[in-house]
Structure 1
Amino acid sequence: MKLTRPAVAAGTVAAALAALLVALLVALFVAPSGVLAATGDGSPTDPNIRFVGRWDTRNATAYVPGWAGAYLTTGFTGTTVKLRQRDTIDLYYSIDGGPDVYLQGVRGTVNLTPNPLPAATHSLRVSYRVVAGSYHGDAVFQGLVLDPGARTLPAAPPRGMVEFVGDSITVGTTTSKNALTAYGWLVGEQLGLDHMQVAQGGACLVSTADGCVGLDRRFVKVSAVDGAPDHDFSRYQADVVVINLGTNDVGHGVSTTQFQSSYTGLLRTIRGKYPDAVILALKTFRGRYVPQTQAAVAAVNGAGDPNVFFVDTDGWVPADGLSDSVHPNDAGHRAIAAKLAPIVAAHLPSRPTPTPSASPTPTPSDTYGACTAHYAITNQWPGGFQGEVQVTNTGTGTLDGWALRWAFADGQHIDQGWNGTFSQTGATVTVTNPGWNPALAPGASATLGFTGTWNGANTAPAAFTLNGAGCALA
């Protein structure tokens, strides 16, 4: 018996192929955006966006910050940037290193540039507002929306990480901007470091039966929420960890013996997660569990860990530095940061001095030479200070590669800088454009930040040059 294959009409084949093509296209375009994310597209998985601190990244289309102080940063091109939010949220954002702008109760596609920017490369930082450690609203990042043809650019690379572990004081409760005006955020900004506040309002060191959030167990979690997953410690390594715990444990009946044991355990947990970090155990500002904190530090020192230190904080908070009997106000946090920043800086790992790069060839001054420069000391403490320079291209052409120079008059020396590549020879400082922001369009500005040392006097530089042409002082 001869078997024959049934005839298939050509139209049927064509219809089947068309159906298959439609199915493939549907699968392509309805797939979750994170799955097909491309570099520069502004989606949560875009590698140009740097998520600092602890974020729950299990959902590729929606990243969620955990604890206080987490933020995201990126570069971008074009004149506008919008933020995709799932639901109502309060947040802060900064563009090109400018002041943090506060938005309340925003949702959906949030326009961060109601006044369009100059057509140039820009930087963005977004931080969601926290209240007592809980985010004030739905802190779910779903991506950025840019101009047609624009793209994200790599965020400025990390210059080190300092992590702060604590309770509502470390969160910044009762200050004007919560986490952004707390001593941990201030220290990180002063030193030009990534920074993270693993902190919760009302938190204890010890996890208690009456429900106090205990950092002895939750330090390893991505957030303080019950059932939160473990944090992936391969995402970053802290250079310095600062602990400020013990203020709340008294109210939950934690014994001195239990406190000392849990503090020792936390120090060992931190060491296991950050093998090379320096750990600073602060004396709580109210002086609670001080002998037990010291004993815990001594225990790990005696077991062979020399990079754990007890820090005496007596006198750090001025008489007018409290908003109530417990929480520092803005001035109090600034005072704490002024004391703590030099201690953190002294324990940072040594980093190689940047090799001075070749300066861009100066372009004709009649077209590109006009500029203004504004120099400011934003914070100062004995022997150290933080400064910034904002330089603006007031010429008629784009600077595709730039170098800013000035000379200090009093022997000041820069330790760390950001938003540019810094080098210093004698009194002369040269800052060249960062790789992620090479161009300076007409009317565009670049804000450079740095920390440095001073002794005796700290006067501002008298003159600045941009690509060899003098800048007017603004």
Structure 2
Amino acid sequence: MSSPLKALCGVLVAVLLTATPALADQSIVEEPAALADPVRVMPLGDSITQGGSIGGYRLDLGTKLRAAGRTVDFVGSLSDGPSSMPDRNHEGHPGWTIAQIDANVVNWLRTYTPRTILLHIGTNDMYGSDPAGAPRRLSALVDKITAQAPSAEVFVSTIIPIRFADATVRNYNAAIVPLLRAKAAAGKRVHVVDMYPAVPVSDLPDGIHPNAAGYSKMAAVWFNALSSVPGSIGDPNPPQPGGPCTATPVVTGSWNGGFQGEVTVANPTASTITGWTVRFTLPGGYTVTQIWGGTASGSVTVTNALYNGTINPSGSTTFGFLASGSGTPSIGAPTCSSP
């Protein structure tokens, strides 16, 4: 090899060696930005917040929040509800009074640091020794919450009816509303939620606790209240072209040994969906015996029928089914995917 050619090769090698670090840097794939943390919501209260084996209002409220594209994490030291319920945490303590919640709330707030609090409390005070003092105790509890967590959004509801103590409940609700509004007017993040008229006595089998229909009505009131306060449940996930579909379930009827359910499949994106698959769970012991508007397999996967696989932007379709079994009817939070 001639000396000029050797020199040229040496220069090229030197350039490549010098450029290697820069080329290597360009080949690194950056990690995607982390998704926003879920908004921490603490359901707080007594057995009406706990909700028994059906998960109370928390079941339907979680479904509504997910369907609306909200990323929320229920927080608390307790966990109850059906196994199909995706998020079962809460601070609903059966039998507890306002004073008992007051004695423990600071520790819970420090431990779980909720962004939003849903407080329904006072029912057990209504047939205690001092129902007349309950508004004062609630006011002190809310002051303690706002002092410990001044940036949290605190939603405080009137309590639902009690069949055998309606006058006492009405007096309590009438007394707490102006107290709460005064706190809001003073700049505290306190929001009054009027829950009393949402649940009729006919939805209270034992005169105190709601059935599934009553809890569903409570969930709707909570959801509307949360949706009216920016930031309390974060921002909805914006639709993305070609993104996934959504599925919203509802139990439309039930009887001894079975129930009927419907699932609305919606397209929130800017592109037409062609074909969809919805997956959900049923309580243990339940099986699908009949379905329309889709084809079922496994436990439970439903694909579109020939006539409803195409969903235009902002459009929707519905499939329904019958399920047989025993226990409380419910539909586990569904997922929806499209090609």
TM-score interval (norm. to shorter): 0.5 to 0.7
Q: 1:284–1:290: 8 Å Cα contact kept in structure 2? A: yes
Q: In the aligned structure 2, how far is the partner of 1:458 from the partner of 1:168?
A: 39
Task: Kindly provide the amino acid, as one letter, of the partner of residue 115 in structure 2.
Answer: D
1:295 offset after TM fit, Å? 3.2
Which of 94, 97, 114 aligns to 1:201? It is 94
Point out the structure with the larger helix share: 2
State the SS of the aligned residue for 1:251: coil
1:320 offset after TM fit, Å? 3.7
Kindly provide the CA deviation profile for residues 229-250 of structure 1, in whole angstroms up to 9, marking residues without a partner as x: x3462x5432321111111113
Partner of 1:460: 317
1:244 aligns with 2:140: no
1:295 aligns with 2:171: no
State the SS of the aligned residue for 2:174: helix
Instruction: Give the count of matched residue pairs.
Output: 217
1:325 offset after TM fit, Å? 0.9
1:159 aligns with 2:34: no
Q: In the aligned structure 2, how far is the partner of 1:324 from the partner of 1:461?
A: 35
Q: 2:155–2:192: 8 Å Cα contact kept in structure 1? A: yes
Q: In the aligned structure 2, how far is the partner of 1:377 from the partner of 1:189?
A: 7
Partner of 1:425: 270
Which of 180, 187, 197 aligns to 1:315? It is 197
TM norm structure 2 = 0.52
Which of 378, 397, 403 aligns to 2:249? It is 378
Q: 2:240–2:270: 8 Å Cα contact kept in structure 1? A: no
Q: In the aligned structure 2, how far is the partner of 1:254 from the partner of 1:216?
A: 16
Query: Structure 1's 333 and 465: CA in aligned 2 closer, same or farther, altered over 3 A?
Result: closer
Q: 1:317–1:335: 8 Å Cα contact kept in structure 2? A: yes
1:270 aligns with 2:163: no
Kindly provide the CA deviation profile for residues 7-30 of structure 1, in whole angstroms up to 9, marking residues without a partner as x: xxxxxxxxxxxxxxxxxxxxxxxx
Q: In the aligned structure 1, how far is the partner of 2:191 from the partner of 2:104?
A: 22
Task: Kindly provide the amino acid, as one letter, of the partner of residue 297 in structure 1.
Answer: L
Q: In the aligned structure 1, how far is the partner of 2:73 from the partner of 2:131?
A: 35
Task: Kindly provide the amino acid, as one letter, of the partner of residue 116 in structure 2.
Answer: V
Task: Kindly provide the amino acid, as one letter, of the partner of residue 148 in structure 2.
Answer: K
Q: 1:162–1:188: 8 Å Cα contact kept in structure 2? A: no
Partner of 1:279: 154
Larger RCO: 1 or 2 (CA < 8 Å, sep 6+): 2
TM norm structure 1 = 0.39
Structure 1 unaligned regions, length at least 5: 1-155, 207-213, 221-229, 360-372, 381-385, 390-406, 414-423, 432-442, 448-456, 467-474
Query: Structure 1's 276 and 252: CA in aligned 2 closer, same or farther, altered over 3 A?
Result: same
Task: Kindly provide the amino acid, as one letter, of the partner of residue 351 in structure 1.
Answer: D
Point out the structure with the larger strand share: 1
Structure 2 unaligned regions, length at least 5: 1-34, 67-71, 76-89, 162-168, 252-261, 277-297, 303-313, 320-336
Kindly provide the CA deviation profile for residues 295-336 of structure 1, in whole angstroms up to 9, marking residues without a partner as x: 33033224322x212222243124542221111112211222
Q: Which residues in structure 2 correspond to 1:86-97 (within 5 Å)?
A: none
State the SS of the aligned residue for 1:165: strand
Query: Structure 1's 253 and 458: CA in aligned 2 closer, same or farther, altered over 3 A?
Result: farther
1:376 offset after TM fit, Å? 4.3
State the SS of the aligned residue for 2:214: helix
1:205 offset after TM fit, Å? 0.8
Query: Structure 1's 302 and 343: CA in aligned 2 closer, same or farther, altered over 3 A?
Result: closer
Task: Kindly provide the amino acid, as one letter, of the partner of residue 270 in structure 2.
Answer: T
Q: 1:322–1:329: 8 Å Cα contact kept in structure 2? A: yes
Percent of aligned pairs sharing the same letter: 22
Q: In the aligned structure 2, how far is the partner of 1:185 from the partner of 1:282?
A: 18
Q: 1:204–1:249: 8 Å Cα contact kept in structure 2? A: yes
Query: Structure 1's 267 and 171: CA in aligned 2 closer, same or farther, altered over 3 A?
Result: same
Q: In the aligned structure 2, how far is the partner of 1:352 from the partner of 1:328?
A: 30
Kindly provide the CA deviation profile for residues 329-355 of structure 1, in whole angstroms up to 9, marking residues without a partner as x: 122112221232222233251537559
Partner of 1:184: 58
Q: In the aligned structure 1, how far is the partner of 2:236 from the partner of 2:221?
A: 26
